[in-house]
Amino acid sequence: MTKATELALAAGDRDPRVGLRAVSALRRLLEQLESVQVRNARVRGWSWQEIAAELGVTRQAVHKKHGGRG
């Protein structure tokens, strides 16, 4: 079982402390994965608009969030 799968299962735990910690860890993991994939797309020549369309957000939102990163 992967760490992400373990966290997803823990997010549904009846103990709110366990569930909330898992949700927080999943949020951090998701942010890391998004950053990696945005960088990947930019290296491959994708426009901010193309990235935004795949993420379901505006071009401005994705550029604001990721535009200043190396």
Are the CB atoms for 58 and 52 separated by under 8 Å?
Answer: yes
* Element holding 35 (H helix, E strand): helix 16-43
In tens, the pLDDT along 14-67 reads: 999 999 999 999 999 999 999 999 999 999 999 999 999 999 999 999 999 999
Distance CA 10, CA 49 (A): 35
pTM of the model: 0.84
pLDDT at 70 over 60: no
Considering all CA atoms of the chain, what is the largest pairwise distance in Å, rounded to the nearest integer?
Answer: 45
Other CB atoms within a 10 A radius of the CB of residue 50 amount to 15
